[in-house]
């Protein structure tokens, strides 16, 4: 009997050893890597400059702002929520950073601090409305999408505000490089790494997954759901403000709408493509970053080929639908309107 058990366990152990690295990467991530390789190969064959280092840096810079929002969108979704207002928050923070910089004796730090403060405030407001107002996260943040966009337009008069590229700090953020990579990309890497560690290696992260997976069980286990949900939205608001600051640095002025519109869809698409279950409890930063890279490579490839930019929106919307369909199929849930 002992021999038989050993014989049965040996192949399994061997198989586990062989598939260990693949299992660590994950099937979802492997699919994204394969898709990214296909996109890079396709556009690289169509245009010799597509895979040049200069264009790779352009792709990396282009996805930085959407990538920051996708990282915190991942946290919110894992927690069982959704934040449709992150793009508008970035736009509001962009305007605030530029206007305060212009009016505070040309102090970039004052502008950035004000922007982060505004982002934190609207993030907490989202969380409070959802938790204590008992409003569905989609409805609450959809309202925030309109309200924060309107607020940004009101304080700016609907126009770009200020000029920041006469300041060394903003110039460094927009054009500086460290070890050959743009500063903006390093900021994305640092934020993503910090959030990854938070989710995977701390009790806070484990509690976030628990809340998204089964909020009733999490509550019975003594986890303070209200505190975690509000904190998740506060984090989203703060990082959205950082994205707004980078938007200001990149464009040279505060942008109430231009540059931030559509970022919420990009962040949700990246999170869903990266493996986040929209009902919560599942997802990770690695998959989200791969999805951000895939979306950026696809967008840049279409631009390089001179394809109408409207098709980029079509492609992005289609990818979101595909990601959700795949999630539904994998979960085994009955499709709406169809027999079991």
Q: What share of the chain is helix, strand, coil (3-state, %, to 5)?
A: 75, 0, 25
Beta bridge partners of 282: none
Residue 83 has pLDDT above 90, yes or no: yes
Give me the percent of the chain exceeding a pLDDT of 70: 87
* 3-class SS string, 27-46: HHHHHHHHHHHHHHHHHHHH
Q: How far is CA 12 from CA 3, 27, 97, 161, in A?
A: 15, 19, 57, 63
pLDDT of residue 332: 59
Backbone angles phi, psi at 338, to 5 degrees: -110, 150
The pTM of this model reads 0.87
DSSP classification of residue 161: B
Residue 189, pLDDT > 90, answer yes
pLDDT at residue 26 is higher than 70: no
Main-chain dihedrals φ then ψ at residue 254, nearest 5 degrees: -75, 130
Direct distance between the N- and C-terminal alpha carbons of the chain, in angstroms, rounded to an integer: 43
Bigger pLDDT: 336 vs 112 = 112
Angle 213-218-220 from CA coordinates, rounded to 5° = 145
* Helix axes 263-273 and 86-103, enclosed angle (nearest 10): 130
Structure tokens at 243: 């994205």
DSSP 3-state of 178: strand
The H-assigned helical ranges of 79-167 are 86-103, 108-132, 137-156
pLDDT tens digits for range 197-241: 999 999 999 999 999 999 999 999 999 999 999 999 999 999 999
* Residue range 167-171: mean pLDDT, rounded: 92
């Amino acid at each position: 009997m002992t021999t038989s058990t050993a014989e049965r366990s040996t192949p399994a152990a061997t198989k586990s050893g062989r598939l260990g690295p693949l299992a660590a990467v994950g099937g979802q991530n492997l699919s994204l890597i394969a898709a990214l390789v296909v996109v890079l190969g396709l556009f690289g064959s169509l245009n010799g400059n597509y895979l040049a280092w200069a264009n790779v840096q352009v792709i990396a810079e282009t996805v930085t702002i959407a990538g920051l929002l996708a990282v915190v969108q991942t946290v919110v979704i894992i927690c069982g929520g959704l934040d449709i207002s992150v793009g508008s928050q970035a736009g509001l923070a962009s305007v605030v950073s530029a206007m305060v910089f212009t009016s505070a004796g040309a102090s970039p730090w004052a502008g950035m601090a004000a922007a982060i403060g505004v982002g934190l405030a609207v993030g907490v407001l989202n969380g409070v409305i959802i938790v204590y107002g008992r409003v569905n996260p989609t409805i609450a943040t959809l309202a925030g999408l309109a309200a924060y966009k309107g607020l940004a337009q009101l304080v700016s008069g609907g126009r770009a505000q200020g000029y920041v590229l006469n300041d060394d700090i903003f110039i460094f953020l927009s054009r500086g490089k460290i070890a050959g990579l743009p500063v903006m990309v390093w900021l994305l890497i640092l934020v993503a790494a910090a959030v990854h560690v938070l989710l995977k290696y701390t009790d806070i992260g484990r509690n976030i997954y628990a809340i998204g997976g089964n909020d009733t069980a999490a509550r019975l286990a003594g986890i303070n759901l209200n505190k975690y949900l509000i904190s998740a939205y506060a984090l989203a608001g703060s990082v959205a403000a950082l994205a707004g600051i980078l938007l200001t640095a990149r464009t040279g002025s505060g942008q109430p709408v231009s540059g931030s519109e559509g970022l919420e869809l990009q962040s949700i698409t990246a999170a869903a493509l990266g493996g986040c279950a929209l009902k919560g409890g599942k997802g990770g930063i690695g998959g989200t970053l791969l999805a951000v890279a895939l979306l950026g490579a696809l967008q840049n490839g279409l631009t390089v080929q001179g394809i109408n930019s409207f098709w980029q929106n079509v492609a992005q919307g289609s990818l979101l639908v595909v990601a959700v369909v795949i999630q539904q199929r994998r979960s085994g849930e009955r499709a709406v309107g169809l027999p079991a």
